[in-house]
């Protein structure tokens, strides 16, 4: 089985905290439209797996999940998405029950378009809401309003059974009450899945140039999030991800569980598990749109699977650790930061609060 990621690197505008490979679309000429030259290059790259397999055996794999991410994939017209799907199906076998996610920005919500996505096979929508408070939406540079987020959520829930909401927490000055209110507003729409990430200020973003006061409530906010979501029937299965039973993201679980994946599109990453190799496509848009995806090969870093696996509540098998790491893990177990559960090594509730520190020790 193989997870397929498709990158659409265009957005209505660049958010102030974003360091993803994404570019604002030219609103005057092509609002709600991704350049056709990009779709051509994407379909060409996908088609390339038919005749040449770049050292992979992808053609023998069945696609178990498709994830169209970005950027803002909901800028795609239904016709563009149909072209991409047709290219995928020409080259790969897609499982009948494949999870098929499309990331959406609330501002791009239109009923007919979302219904068309569903008719094309999309069965999961991931809505990037981030906050329901107008001042934080402005601060983050989000293009949508609280009202548009609510309209998109309501509309998406009417069309799709499986809707996920992304929220950000630990925003500068954000209080516990404000964070709880955002969660409760999201819960009003009964999404199947909620991701709640702490805001991290990345280099080379407008936020990085500002003096931002550290929010001292991070740990408390994290525990509050967990409690509110668990009390409402959402189980934590990864440090920032919660789902109603049976609605965990299969695609993201593939990343966190050391499963192989193929990424197509600008700057997309792939993991060829059989040969223990990771690949990245070029992040030069002109180069990519001209049909040169130019893959860079990186050898597998064994630590990656420890780092990803410990984010999951189900943890990692002991076999991932070498003798030195096992000794460090033993010390962390005695400090009640790690624990054995069903033969897997997991972070405890206390450990999850300082997971980065634990990972630095194990590195």
Binding ligand SF4 by CB under 6 A: which of 65, 72, 169, 249?
72
Residue closer to ligand SF4 by CB (options 134, 233) is 134
The β-bridge relationship of strands 261-264 and 2-8 is: parallel
Binding ligand SF4 by CB under 6 A: which of 22, 101, 108, 174?
22
Residue 16 touches ligand SF4, criterion: CB under 6 A: no
Residue 11 touches ligand SF4, criterion: CB under 6 A: yes
> Near ligand SF4 by CB under 6 A, which window of 65-73, 86-94, 191-199, 288-296?
65-73
Residue 69 touches ligand SF4, criterion: CB under 6 A: no
Q: Say if residues 19 and 203 touch (Cβ distance below 8 Å).
A: yes
User: Which is nearest to 42 in space by CA: 295, 298, 292?
Assistant: 292
Residue 309 touches ligand SF4, criterion: CB under 6 A: no
Alpha-carbon distances of 119 from 36, 47, 48, 187, 273, rounded to whole Å: 22, 23, 26, 26, 33
**Dihedral, CA of residue 243, residue 161, residue 107 and residue 130, to nearest 10:** -10
Considering only residues 185 to 244 of the shown chain, the ones binding ligand SF4 according to CB under 6 A are none
Residue 75 touches ligand SF4, criterion: CB under 6 A: no
Residue 20 touches ligand SF4, criterion: CB under 6 A: yes
Q: Say if residues 295 and 89 touch (Cβ distance below 8 Å).
A: no
DSSP 66: E
Residue closer to ligand SF4 by CB (options 84, 129) is 129
Q: Say if residues 147 and 129 touch (Cβ distance below 8 Å).
A: no
Residue 70 touches ligand SF4, criterion: CB under 6 A: yes
What does the alpha-carbon distance between residue 305 and residue 73 come to, in Å, rounded to a whole number? 28
Residue 14 touches ligand SF4, criterion: CB under 6 A: yes
Residue closer to ligand SF4 by CB (options 58, 139) is 139
Smallest gap from residue 103 Cβ to ligand SF4 (A):
8
Detail the DSSP E strand segments found in 191-302: 193-198, 235-238, 241-243, 261-264, 269-272, 277-280, 296-299
Residue 128 touches ligand SF4, criterion: CB under 6 A: yes
Structure tokens at 339: 């624990």
> Near ligand SF4 by CB under 6 A, which window of 18-26, 116-124, 204-212, 297-305?
18-26
| Residues of this chain that bind ligand SF4 (CB under 6 A) | 11, 14-15, 18, 20, 22, 70-72, 105, 128
């Amino acid at each position: 089985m193989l997870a397929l990621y498709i990158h659409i690197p265009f957005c209505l505008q660049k958010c102030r905290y974003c360091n993803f490979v994404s570019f604002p679309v030219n609103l005057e000429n092509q609002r709600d439209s991704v350049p056709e030259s990009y779709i051509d290059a994407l379909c060409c790259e996908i088609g390339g797996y038919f005749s040449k397999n770049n050292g992979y055996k992808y053609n023998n794999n069945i696609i178990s999940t498709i994830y169209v991410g970005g950027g803002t994939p909901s800028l795609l017209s239904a016709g563009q998405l149909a072209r991409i799907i047709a290219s995928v199906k020409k080259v790969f076998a897609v499982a009948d029950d494949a999870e098929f996610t499309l990331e959406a920005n609330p501002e791009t919500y239109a009923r007919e378009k979302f219904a068309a996505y569903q008719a094309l096979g999309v069965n999961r929508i991931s809505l990037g809401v981030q906050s329901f408070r107008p001042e934080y939406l402005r601060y983050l540079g989000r293009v949508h309003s609280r009202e548009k987020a609510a309209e998109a959520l309501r509309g998406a829930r009417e069309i799709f059974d499986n809707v996920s909401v992304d929220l950000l927490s630990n925003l500068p000055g954000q209080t516990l009450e404000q964070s709880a209110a955002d969660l409760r507003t999201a819960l009003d729409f009964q999404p199947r899945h909620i991701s709640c990430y702490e805001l991290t200020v990345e280099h080379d973003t407008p936020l990085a140039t500002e003096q931002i006061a550290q929010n001292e409530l991070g740990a408390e906010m994290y525990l509050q999030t967990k409690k509110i979501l668990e009390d409402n029937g959402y189980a934590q299965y990864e440090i920032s991800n919660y789902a109603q039973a049976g609605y965990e993201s299969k695609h993201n679980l593939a990343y966190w569980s050391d499963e192989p994946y193929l990424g197509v599109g600008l700057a997309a990453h792939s993991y060829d598990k059989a040969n223990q190799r990771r690949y990245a496509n070029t992040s030069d848009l002109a180069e990519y749109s001209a049909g040169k995806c130019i893959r860079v090969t990186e050898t597998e870093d064994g630590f990656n699977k420890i780092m990803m696996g410990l984010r999951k509540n189900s943890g990692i098998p002991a076999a991932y650790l070498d003798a030195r790491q096992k000794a460090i893990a033993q010390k962390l177990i005695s400090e009640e930061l790690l624990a054995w559960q069903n033969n897997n090594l997991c972070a405890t509730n206390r450990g999850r609060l300082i997971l980065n520190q634990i990972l630095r020790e194990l590195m």
